[in-house]
């Protein structure tokens, strides 16, 4: 797991699994963990990192309901979970989904965890809206398209946007079974003015990037999605993301939009 400080109040950690990003954000005497790393040793180290850096974590936030963003309770078992209303609704309508997918990952990777994943009911956060962290306030902005649910979080005092599974430097836009191209394009419109103002953007996968680079990725993603909608399988992938794994994601995107 890699860790980097973007601001005195913001630390980003990047998991070895899928380059999944998680963010510690502090507002005076309190801190939140947004999303989570994946492997047990990373989650254990995260608690020690937060204590050493004096980030007193009092709550967990998730950008959306995919399992690899919901593991913060392993690091901070007493901290309650907050989620967008859309994510809380997803978790209620699909009980056990995250636990089942985590078990499948652990079985494939031979991972042993100290206990099963526990996900008590998440506190529902109105989005758009705000949530206070100590003496500061995070802005919550709606996202969708990758999945049916989600939110991005903007820390204006730090100039950091936590984007969820959008604006990744390593992964093309991924349309899940509950996502859509039109919702994804709408999310890019919501994020664009925030990205233009941000010093750093933290995508769900790939680690933190500077705002200028994130803006270029946003434009590439918009071009890809518009081509996907118009040309399907013939849509060209962004130049820097034409690996075999991204071509597989593209094939799944085509399958989902043509059903």
β-sheet bridge partners, residue 200: 160, 210
Domains annotated for the chain, with CATH where assigned, are 2-257 (3.60.15.10)
Q: Is the sign of the CA dihedral 114, 32, 150, 5 positive or negative?
A: negative
Residue range 223-250, pLDDT digits in tens: 999 999 999 999 999 999 999 999 999 9
Mean residue pLDDT of the chain comes to: 96
pTM score? 0.96
pLDDT above 90: percentage of residues in the chain:
97
Position 165 scores a pLDDT of 97
Average the pLDDT over 17-22 and give the result.
97
What's the first-to-final CA gap in the chain, in angstroms?
38
Q: Would you say 217 and 172 are in contact if contact means Cβ atoms under 8 Å apart?
A: no
Cβ neighbourhood burial of 126 (10 Å; 0-12, 13-18, 19+): exposed
Is 80 exceeded by the pLDDT of residue 259? no
Residue range 123-138, pLDDT digits in tens: 999 999 999 999 999 9
Q: Please give, one letter per residue, the 3-state secondary structure of 95-137.
A: CCHHHHHHHHHHHHHCCCCCCCCCCCCCEEECCCEEEEECCEE
């Amino acid at each position: 797991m890699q860790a980097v400080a973007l601001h005195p109040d913001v630390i980003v950690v990047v998991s070895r699994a899928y380059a999944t990003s998680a963010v510690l954000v502090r507002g005076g005497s309190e801190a939140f963990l947004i999303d989570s790393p994946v492997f047990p040793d990373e989650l254990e180290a995260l608690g020690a990192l937060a204590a050493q850096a004096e980030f007193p974590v009092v709550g967990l936030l998730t950008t959306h309901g995919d399992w690899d963003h919901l593991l913060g309770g392993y690091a901070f078992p007493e901290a309650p979970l907050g989620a967008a209303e859309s994510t809380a609704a997803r978790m209620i309508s699909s009980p056990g989904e995250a636990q089942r997918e985590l078990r499948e990952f652990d079985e494939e990777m031979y991972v042993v965890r100290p206990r099963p994943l526990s996900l008590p009911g998440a506190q529902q956060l109105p989005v758009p809206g705000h949530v206070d962290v100590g003496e500061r306030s995070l802005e919550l902005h709606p996202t969708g398209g990758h999945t049916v649910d989600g939110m991005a979080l903007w820390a204006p005092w730090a100039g950091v946007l936590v984007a969820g599974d959008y604006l990744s430097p390593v992964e093309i836009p991924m349309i899940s079974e509950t996502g859509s191209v039109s919702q994804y394009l709408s999310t890019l419109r919501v994020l664009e003015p925030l990205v233009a103002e941000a010093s750093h953007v933290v995508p769900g996968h790939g680690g933190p990037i500077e705002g200028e680079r994130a803006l270029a990725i946003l434009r590439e993603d918009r071009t890809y999605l518009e081509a996907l909608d118009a040309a399907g399988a013939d849509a060209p992938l962004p130049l820097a993301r034409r690996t075999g794994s991204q071509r597989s994601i593209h094939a799944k995107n085509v399958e989902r939009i043509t059903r």
